[in-house]
Amino acid sequence: MPTQPRHIVVLGGGALGISTAAHLTRKGVDVTVVTEAELASGASGRSLSWLNSAGERSQEYHDFRLAGIARYRELKAEHPDADWLDFGGGVYWGSGPEAARVRHDAEVAKDYSSRLLDPQALAEVTPGLNAAAVNSTAVFNPEEGWVSLPHLIEHLAGQITEAGGRIVTNARRCAVLTEDGRAVGVRTDAGEEIRGDAVVVACGPQTPEVIAELGVRIEDASPLSMLVISEPFEVPEDVVLNTPRAAVRPNPGSTIAIDHDWYEDQIVTNEDGTYDIPRETVDELVAEAARLYAGQPEIRAAGWKIGLKPIPGDGEPVFGELEAVPGCYTVFTHSGATLALIGGELVANELVDGAKEEMLAQFRPERFAVTAAAAAT
């Protein structure tokens, strides 16, 4: 790639693509974002987007996520009135009595801010919760927060267009355009070619499929998932909740967002590629969420979205230029809400400054090629 790329094409209008494009424009690069439908129509439009590094993971992934949270804190300090980003902490309890302790021990070992509380002590910290629903010790992580990604995307998209960048929506399914083995742009479904000095593929759960067309394999473990948004009600507590039957976060407009995984096998894929789930399942999930709050408020679902949740085969993020296709940069990750700001920043640094970011060293796409080669021998 030329040392100072003048024009970069970003494929994918989710949190990662838009953040990368916004960071590129801050570095003076001319950017075109091209995306299938509207902005935030993919995983970013139906994400729990809990900002965290809770539980167990590699030290490198943990450090990456902590840097991600720190970037959101900076954003919140710049925009204290943003009602789509907040840091009210996170609460976790599991189905067995030991789950919280095991998680807490792993967190403390990494110096992650974590308190192990019995239900009574938890009630003092989070009086808006229904103490009777907490049947074991719980972990309270006071530094955690949440973001509404559609709002973040709107915020960053405004910066891109203000800086003269272009955002092409409803381009339908696009492919990476190559010449002599190098990525030189994208081809839209209608056959239009949008050329640039480099291409960033940030297609969420579709990333492995887009990259496979270039002959590069990235293992994919993306499951189907659902996010429910409630109707407005007086939300009694502003923590993010991770509990055995419902994960919940506050959402703008006095609403909450709810997800979990116990109903994944009830999702039906229709012939036209759309998804359905029984209405009773949605209502059951909402009822599980209502049980978590003091006074057990009456909560109704205003809407729900179903689709793939991006998860690489080994669970770790994928960030890097493809060695096999110079000029093609790939971004594919599970915790993409937590990583959106830091990820976009580091990708933009690598693309513009040419130097490899140490924080991404562990997450290169080539690790899957190595796995595939080992499996073949």
Q: CB 114 → ligand FAD: shortest distance, Å? A: 17
Extract the tokens encoding 132. Answer: 């009777």
Interaction between residue 330 and ligand FAD (CB under 6 A): no
Binding residue (CB under 6 A) for ligand FAD from 149, 256, 299, 325? 149
Compare residues 53 and 137 and give the one whose CB is closer to ligand FAD: 53
Using CB under 6 A, pick the residue from 53, 230, 338, 349 that binds ligand FAD.
338
Give the residue, chosen from 9, 24, 31, 36, that forms a contact with ligand FAD under the rule CB under 6 A: 36
d(CA 82, CA 99): 34
| Near ligand FAD in 238-267, by CB under 6 A | 259
Q: What letter does residue 218 receive in the DSSP assignment?
A: -
Contact of 204 with 311, CB cutoff 8 Å = no
210 is a contact residue toward ligand FAD (CB under 6 A)? yes
Q: Is 11 one of the binding residues for ligand FAD (CB under 6 A)?
A: yes
* Distance between start and end Cα atoms, the chain: 33
Q: Which of 347, 100, 66, 25 has its CA nearest to residue 199?
A: 347
Task: Closer to ligand FAD by CB, 16 or 296: give it.
Answer: 16
Among 29, 31, 42, 196, binds ligand FAD (CB under 6 A): 42
Task: Say whether residue 5 binds ligand FAD (CB under 6 A).
Answer: no
- C-alpha span between 211 and 220 (Å, rounded): 11
Name residues whose C-beta falls within 8 Å of residue 163's C-beta, 6 or more positions apart in sequence.
Answer: 25, 26
Nearest C-alpha neighbor of 326 from the set 175, 178, 174: 178
Q: Which of 46, 62, 364, 367 binds ligand FAD (CB under 6 A)?
A: 46
Query: Cβ(40)–Cβ(150) under 8 Å?
Result: yes
CB of 46 to ligand FAD, least distance (A): 5
SS3 155: helix
Spell out the SS3 assignment of 246-260. CEEEEECCCEEEEEC
- Options 48, 134, 229, 235; binder of ligand FAD; rule CB under 6 A: 48
Instruction: Determine which residue in the list 8, 22, 29, 50 makes contact with ligand FAD, applying CB under 6 A.
Output: 50
Is residue 53 a contact partner of residue 338, using CB atoms and an 8 Å limit? Answer: yes
- Where are the alpha helices (H) located in the chain, listed in sequence order? 15-26, 59-78, 99-109, 119-125, 149-162, 207-212, 279-291, 336-353, 366-376
Minimum Å distance from CB 87 to ligand FAD? Answer: 14
Map 272-327 to HEC letters: CCCEECCHHHHHHHHHHHHHCECCCCCCCEEEEEEEECCCECCCCCEEEECCCCCC
CB of 341 to ligand FAD, least distance (A): 11
Place of tokens 């900002």: 51
349 contributes a contact to ligand FAD by CB under 6 A: no
**Per-residue contact track with ligand FAD, 188 to 207, x per CB under 6 A?**
--------------xxxxx-
Query: Total residues at the site for ligand FAD (CB under 6 A)?
Result: 40
Rg (CA), the chain: 21
Task: Identify the residue among 148, 178, 243, 333 touching ligand FAD (CB under 6 A).
Answer: 333
Greatest distance between any 2 Cα atoms in the chain: 65
Q: Residue 190 or residue 374: which is nearer to ligand FAD going by CB? A: 190
Binding-site member from 5, 12, 208, 365 for ligand FAD (CB under 6 A) = 12
- Asked if 37 is part of the footprint of ligand FAD (rule: CB under 6 A), the reply reads yes
The residue assigned the tokens 């796995």 is 371
Q: Which is nearer to ligand FAD, 126 or 333 (CB)?
A: 333
Q: Which residues bind ligand FAD (CB under 6 A)?
A: 11-17, 35-37, 41-44, 46-50, 149, 171, 173-174, 202-206, 210, 225, 227, 259, 309-310, 333-338
